[in-house]
Structure 1
Amino acid sequence: MEAMERYLRATPIIDSDNRAIREKARDLTEACDTIPDKARSLFYFVRDDIKYNIYVPSDRPEYYIASRILALKEGFCVQKAVLLAALARAMEIPSRLHLAAIRNHLVPDKLKGFMGGNIFPTHGYDELYIEGKWVKVAPTFDLQMCRQNRLVPVEFDGKHDAVLPVYNLDGKPHIEYVEDRGSYEDLPFEKIRDWRIETFGPDFFDRMRQLIEDRKTKG
């Protein structure tokens, strides 16, 4: 188990030693008897209680801190993955982050225009070590969002991979995994920043900040 220790440690970003994180993890798993059951409970909390929102700040490491995401109750894929990793570590479930470039065939036209395409270069999800193996889990899109947009919600049984689906409820292409970008014991912020700039251009974060402000102004 020594090899797993680094996937159990708290970090400044995956702050599994934070009081709010530890209390929430205990509350969510107090009725669970097994590791798969605990992992499943944590997953569904992050999937549904932390609403998916891509229009949030992401240009500084502190915007990804797990306890911050827990308090805000919203975030995009990487932020939600960080929170699940922290909750898992708080319950002694080894966890790590995994990044991949994906193509979202159903991205809204306005966002597609802003990004210059439908490639998301740093989609983030989790890998949890359960019953002797790493299991992939993506708590990205909350159930309400899935129902509103006819997306297939990711379901997790606590034991098998649960990643974003290839098709939506109407059989239209949804998620295409384009490039694997590896697993990480902590948030690789610099890599995420560089991959986004490489894909979206050097002014991406400035444009995103302005877009977020504009959306706040419009309410």
Structure 2
Amino acid sequence: MPSMSNLQTLRRATEFLDYETDTVQKFVAEAVGDATTEAEKAVRLYYAVRDGINYEVYATKLSREALRASSIARSGLGFCVHKSILYAAAVRAVGIPSRLVYADVRNHLASERLKSMVGGEVFHHGLVSVHLGGHWLRVTPVFNGLLCRLYGMAPLEFDGTSDSVHHPYDERGGTQMEFLKDYGAYDDVPFDLLLERMRAKHPRMFADRDSVAGSGSLADEAPARTTSV
């Protein structure tokens, strides 16, 4: 059981979880609205990040500045690393302890072009651990509903009481995202370590030191689907 002092530390703003900025405060206020309980706030913030921040990989930035929650809220886009940072900051803004979690996963929501760029279906993945109701829950506010539908997947939901981790592969609840290696949880973005891992695992992903290669949109690369009547 985490101590109260440790939980208090995990509510604080940091270099990357800079929720005291006007940009993040505005994002949080608009998302939370009239929610009163911690669980309600965590759920509303989940959907604000999942569906309000566009999931995009190509040409995104990975500099220290670009990985601050305020920059992510301002740009309105990013992939799992970015969206998890914003969510971790947003829940801290309403008093909910959070940590950032990193893992290697086999990810089925990817175009052929993206898989070629990252070197296959295994991605270095970011998600969030939040402390709600006396328990740590793992939460993945990453793949927005529209993108999931384009790729034939059911969106990953969160109810504030259980983990939101194992993303179904298709609308029938088939193959789930497979977690291959868990690197643990961090109080703030382990910037140098994160970039070192990503460059080692996905060298073709980088256009330069801190920018992802490519242009265009992952949504535009979704496979054509036929609907049976």
Q: CA deviation at 1:173?
A: 3.2
d(CA) in 1 for partners of 2:199 and 2:72? Answer: 23
1:194 match: secondary structure: helix
1:154-174 CA deviation, whole Å, 9 max, x = no partner? 111111101141432255535
Q: Kindly provide the amino acid, as one letter, of the partner of residue 145 in structure 1.
A: L
Instruction: Provide TM-score, normalisation by structure 2.
Output: 0.85
Please give the residue correspondences for 1:171-210 in structure 2 after superposition, counting only pairs within 5 Å. 173-201=175-203, 204-206=205-207, 209=211
d(CA) in 2 for partners of 1:148 and 1:206? Answer: 27
Asked whether the equivalents of residues 101 and 184 of structure 2 are also in contact (C-alpha less than 8 Å), the reply is: yes
Q: Kindly provide the amino acid, as one letter, of the partner of residue 49 in structure 1.
A: G
Q: CA deviation at 1:27?
A: 3.0
Pair 1:96-2:99 in alignment: yes
Q: Kindly provide the amino acid, as one letter, of the partner of residue 18 in structure 1.
A: T
Alignment gaps of 5+ in structure 1: none
Q: For the structure 1 residues 94 and 106, does the alpha-carbon distance in structure 2 shift closer, same or farther, using more than 3 Å as the test? A: closer
d(CA) in 2 for partners of 1:133 and 1:72? Answer: 32
Q: CA deviation at 1:134?
A: 0.8
d(CA) in 1 for partners of 2:42 and 2:59? Answer: 26
Partner of 1:46: 49
Q: For the structure 1 residues 34 and 171, does the alpha-carbon distance in structure 2 shift closer, same or farther, using more than 3 Å as the test? A: closer
Q: Kindly provide the amino acid, as one letter, of the partner of residue 47 in structure 2.
A: Y
1:161 match: secondary structure: coil
Q: CA deviation at 1:209?
A: 4.5
Q: Kindly provide the amino acid, as one letter, of the partner of residue 82 in structure 1.
A: I
Asked whether the equivalents of residues 81 and 139 of structure 1 are also in contact (C-alpha less than 8 Å), the reply is: yes
From the two aligned structures, give the one with the greater helix fraction.
Answer: 1
How many percent of aligned residue pairs carry the same amino acid?
33
1:138 alignment partner, one of 137, 140, 146: 140
Alignment gaps of 5+ in structure 2: 221-229
Q: Kindly provide the amino acid, as one letter, of the partner of residue 151 in structure 1.
A: M
1:206 match: secondary structure: strand
Asked whether the equivalents of residues 166 and 176 of structure 1 are also in contact (C-alpha less than 8 Å), the reply is: no
Residue correspondences, number: 214
1:107 match: secondary structure: coil
Q: CA deviation at 1:211?
A: 3.2
